[in-house]
Chain A
C-alpha cells in the first residue's frame, strides 16, 4: 500500500477516534433527579432531554444540516441565514480589503521606488503594523461615527500594512538588470512600471495580499462580534448569546472553511503571477 493511501486511512482513523471520543464525552448524563419536585424540574427544563452545552457530533451535524439546507432564510433584521451572514461579512472584507489594496499598492510602489521615502516611512509603518486591528475600533467608532464604516475601516487599516510593506519591498528589490533593460530600451515610466516592475514585484505583492486577506478575515469576525453588524461574527455572537454551542461550533467551521477558500484563491493567484528565474 502506498504511503499516501496509508496516511489517508490513518487520517480517517484519527477522525473516527476523535468523533467517538467527542460523542462519548458529550452524551447526556442520566439525571438522578427522581427526588426533584416535578414542577421545578419542568421549570428547569429537565422534563425533556437537554444537552448541557457541548453538542454531540450528531447534534452538530443536525445543526449544520439545518443551517446549510436553508442558508438564505430571512426571519427579520436580526435573524438571517448563514449564507446571507457570510455575504455581509465577505462584502465588508471585500470593501475594506479592496480599498486597502487601492491605497497600499500604488503607495507601496512609490515608496519602493524611492529609497528616501522607504527610509522615512518605514519607522511609521513598523509602529502601526503590529497594532491589534481591534484596538482601532473604539477610535474608528468615535471618529467615523458609523459602525459599518468603522468595521470596514478596521479591515482597511489592518490589511493595508502587509500589502504596503510587501509592495514596497517587492518594488525595491526588482532586479537592477530588468530596470536597466527597460532603460536601455527607452521604455517610459508608465511602461516600465506596468510591464517590468509590476510583474517583477507581483509575487511579493500577492504574498502581501494573501497575508492581508488572512488578517482581514480574522478581523471581520471579531469586529462583527464587537460591533454586532450582521455577518458571521454577529452570527457567532447571537448564538453565543443563546449559549448555543452547536451553532457556535458550526459557525467556527464555516469561518474556517471560508478562510481556507479565500487563502486558496489567493494562493492560486499567487501561483499565477509567480515566475521561475
Chain B
C-alpha cells in the first residue's frame, strides 16, 4: 500500500473552523493506471475531494500524496475535466486545447502546438471542428474538447468531475467508449465522480462509496471484479454484473443514509473503509482482508 501512486489519508474538510465537517477521515489509495469512480449523493463532498486532489481546494485535515510528493496547489500533473466542461467560449476548439498545451510546454512553437492539438482533436473524433467556437458544438462535443484538453497535457492523473452528467444516454455511451479506449491506450490513472452506477461498473476498477453528508466518509471500496475489457452491449450478461449493480444501488438507496445515521459506533472501529467484492458469489470469495469484512456488511444489510 505504501507504494501506491496516490494516497489519500484522513482527509477532512470543514467550511469554517468548528463547524461539522462535510466529510472526515477519508482515506483511499490509487494504483498507477487504475480507474477509480466515486459515488455518493449530492452534498457528500465528492467534488470537494476532487478539488482537493486537483489542488483547487485545501483540506482542513489529512493529506494527499501523489507519486511520493504531497499535493499542494494545482499542477499540470493532474488534468481536470470539469462538470460543466469549462471551455473558454471566446476561443475555438483548437485554441482551447492550445491554451492548455502552451501551458504545459511554453517553449513550443506554433506548429508544434498545433500538431499536438490536432492529435488530441483527432483522438476525441472532433476532426473538422477545430475552428468552431464552443457555442457551435453540441454538449457531447464540448465535453470531448474538455477531455482532449485534459489529455493533451499528458498528466500523471486525470480528474473527472461527473463529465457526462449533462449528456443524453446515446452521446454518453459513445464518449464513455472513447474514454475507455483512450485510457486503455494511455494507461491513464483516473479519478472520476459519477452519479451513474452503470457508468461506474463500465469504467471503474474500484468504486468508492460515500455516505451522505455532512460528516460523510467513504463507507466501502467496491472492487469491480468484471473483466477489464468491458462493452456496454454485453456487460450485463456477466454473472457479476447484477450482484455488483444491486450492491451499489442498494447502497445508494438505503445504506448511504443508514450509515450516516449510525456512523458513530461504526466509525469508532473503522479507520479504513472496508474493501468488498460484491460481484463475486459467496463461494467465490477469496480468503483475505476483504473476505473477512463481507459478513459484517451483510449484518448491516
A-side residues, CB < 8 A to B, are: 175, 177-178, 180-181, 183-187, 191, 195-196, 199-200, 202, 273, 275-277
| A183-B74, A276-B133 known; A196 vs B103 contact (CB < 8 Å) | no
- 15 pairs, CB–CB < 8 Å, chain A vs chain B: A177-B82, A177-B86, A180-B54, A180-B56, A183-B55, A183-B74, A184-B75, A185-B99, A185-B104, A187-B99, A191-B103, A199-B90, A199-B91, A275-B133, A277-B89
| CB of B136 to closest CB in A, whole Å | 8
Apart from A199-B91, A276-B135, list 14 A-B contacts with CB within 8 A. A180-B80, A180-B86, A181-B80, A181-B82, A181-B86, A184-B74, A184-B75, A184-B79, A185-B74, A185-B153, A186-B75, A200-B90, A275-B135, A277-B135
- CA distance in complex: A273, B99 (Å): 18
Residues in chain A near residue B80, CB distance under 8 A? 180-181, 184
| CB of B52 to closest CB in A, whole Å | 13
Residue among A184, A185, A273 with the most chain B CB within 10 A?
A: A184
Residue B76 is within 8 A (CB to CB) of chain A in the complex: yes
Residues in chain B near residue A175, CB distance under 8 A? 86
Residue B10 is within 8 A (CB to CB) of chain A in the complex: no
Residue among B54, B82, B84, B86 with the most chain A CB within 10 A?
A: B86
Residue among B56, B74, B75, B91 with the most chain A CB within 10 A?
A: B74
Contact B100 A185 (CB under 8 A): yes
Residues in chain A near residue B76, CB distance under 8 A? 184-186
- CA distance in complex: A83, B79 (Å): 59
Residues in chain A near residue B13, CB distance under 8 A? none
Residues in chain B near residue A191, CB distance under 8 A? 103
Contact A199 B88 (CB under 8 A): yes
- CA distance in complex: A193, B275 (Å): 46
Residue B274 is within 8 A (CB to CB) of chain A in the complex: no
- CA distance in complex: A191, B257 (Å): 45
Residue B78 is within 8 A (CB to CB) of chain A in the complex: yes
Tell me the dominant secondary structure on chain A's binding face.
helix
Contact A186 B86 (CB under 8 A): no
Residues in chain A near residue B82, CB distance under 8 A? 177, 180-181
Residues in chain B near residue A180, CB distance under 8 A? 54, 56, 74, 80, 82, 86
- CA distance in complex: A178, B84 (Å): 10
Contact B88 A196 (CB under 8 A): yes
| CB of A156 to closest CB in B, whole Å | 30
Residue among B56, B89, B90 with the most chain A CB within 10 A?
A: B90
Residues in chain B near residue A186, CB distance under 8 A? 74-76, 103
- CA distance in complex: A275, B75 (Å): 28
| A184-B74, A276-B135 known; A178 vs B86 contact (CB < 8 Å) | yes
- Name which residue of chain A comes closest to B104, CB basis: A185
Contact A177 B84 (CB under 8 A): yes
Residue among A178, A185, A276 with the most chain B CB within 10 A?
A: A185
Residues in chain A near residue B86, CB distance under 8 A? 175, 177-178, 180-181
- CA distance in complex: A58, B80 (Å): 70
B86-123 residues at the A interface, CB under 8 angstroms: 86, 88-91, 99-100, 103-104
Partner of B56, one of A183, A187, A202: A183
| A184-B79, A186-B103 known; A275 vs B74 contact (CB < 8 Å) | no
- CA distance in complex: A181, B80 (Å): 8
| CB of B197 to closest CB in A, whole Å | 26
